[in-house]
Chain A
């Protein structure tokens, strides 16, 4: 059991990351990073395509708020790792095997609630007097949606995407446990077999960096799209639906 002190661990880490084979090899860190991001991207994309139409339609009509709140609260209470592993027996039984499918399906399920709920709140939270002003100017319902509600709700829609994407990038790591090659793979391999601290820290460090960068990237996008939040004169136009406003940890 491990207390070896700091210096040897850093040396092991350096040994691992300074070996080019560990980066370029067939299951090297670069391939694993690519495989990780690819799956995270597709899962977020599919979730967005599934969640957007009902969220936009309900938000525009301002119906179904309770569903949005309920979904978010429920999804926060359900551990994502449990969802991930519960798909495995069904995937094995119905011939989808390990690897891609049992990782992809739960990731899509995890990404749905934040995208749906924040899109809904973004649109339904647009000030009523603004919508009425647009109507008074002669805009049709569809025009109000396109030129008023969507632009005003966009920052919160991006918040939903940020939460979903960050959670998906983080949770993809757990795919390693169901045999999907990703940045969780070196972590799991080291913990369960090789006990190579360098490998462990390389995987952990890269995946932590990816999660932080995803969060940061979308945060910058949010700020760009909502200049009014930067001025101190006006408070944010709508509040986030989630009590905490945080991405659930996975």
Chain B
């Protein structure tokens, strides 16, 4: 059976390949900007937390409150202030990345062995150079784990953001739901899941590449 009433009407999919490509590009852009801005803000917050330890608790507390707000509610809260569209979507999406990234950066750097830091000091590393080339490098696996969770989370939330008109796969879902038409719902939902799983795997690959020490045993 193939027609408008079947679960997936393949003719519709064939006729909308351009729309699907455009939605994919929007989805990726929204995700990329959210994670990139989130990473920049989190790095600043992490440096502040590492420098002034007392700030860490309140910063985690605040980002945790942001994180706990359901997405539809957070998008909604910003609509009266920043209107429909890209900016509102990004504000909410960035808010969700902060807790994940901040926690992973700080705990990654905390996990660097004090012996390594002493060795770097003894070799004459300035504190900033030590931070950038030794501590951040050794914390990279934890940071990449944070980026993985943040990216996958944001890909899912971008789908919801279509409700405030920012584009992406959610646009198909919104269209399908409004006229009880299965095909765009399945296309939009299926592609969101596929994209999230794909990025999950990409980050697992990156993790493998940047931690050669973790697979030494396997190579021997």
Contacts and interface: CB of A to CB of B under 8 A. Distances in A.
Given A88-B177, A244-B100, A79 B192 contact: yes
A89 B7 contact: yes
Interface string A215-250: 100000000000000000000000000011011111
Interface stretch (B65-73, B111-119, B129-137): B65-73
Given A177-B163, A191-B163, A204 B74 contact: yes
A95 interface: no
B29 interface: no
Nearest to A73: B200
Contacts of A3: 81-83
B152 A76 contact: yes
A72 to B, nearest CB: 12
A212 interface: yes
B58 interface: no
B79 interface: yes
A20 to B, nearest CB: 23
A249 B71 CA distance: 7
A169 B200 CA distance: 25
B153 interface: yes
B139 interface: no
Which of B72, B157, B164 has most chain A Cβ within 10 Å? B72
B213 to A, nearest CB: 19
Interface string A189-226: 01110000100110111011001100100000000000
A203 B182 CA distance: 28
B89 interface: no
Contacts of A98: 180
Contacts of B96: 249
Taking residues whose C-beta sits less than 8 angstroms from the other chain, chain A's interface range is 35 or more
Interface in A79-93: 79-83, 85-86, 88-90, 92-93
Interface string B3-24: 0000100000000000000000
B173 to A, nearest CB: 5
Interface string B166-197: 00001001001100101001101110110011
Contacts of B85: 1
Interface string B142-170: 00011001001101110110011000001
Contact of A89 (B73, B77, B103, B185): B185
B150 to A, nearest CB: 10
A71 to B, nearest CB: 14
A187 B83 contact: no
A82 B73 contact: no
Contact of B152 (A77, A174, A207, A250): A77
Contacts of A248: 153, 156
A7 B72 CA distance: 23
A70 B145 CA distance: 16
Contacts of A93: 7, 182
A208 B192 CA distance: 25
A2 B80 contact: yes
A181 interface: no
B173 A85 contact: yes
B81 A200 contact: no
B99 interface: yes
B102 to A, nearest CB: 12
A82 B193 contact: yes
A96 B104 CA distance: 43
A79 B191 CA distance: 11
Interface of B: 7, 65, 67-74, 76-77, 79-85, 96, 99-100, 103-104, 145-146, 149, 152-153, 155-157, 159-160, 163-164, 170, 173, 176-177, 180, 182, 185-186, 188-190, 192-193, 196-197, 200
Given A81-B71, A208-B73, 11 more contacts: A2-B79, A9-B80, A77-B200, A79-B159, A88-B177, A98-B180, A200-B79, A201-B77, A201-B80, A204-B76, A250-B156
7 contacts: A1-B83, A79-B196, A81-B71, A188-B72, A208-B73, A212-B65, A244-B104
Interface of A: 1-4, 6, 9, 12, 73, 76-83, 85-86, 88-90, 92-93, 98, 166, 169-171, 173-174, 176-178, 184, 187-188, 190-192, 197, 200-201, 203-205, 207-208, 211-212, 215, 243-244, 246-250
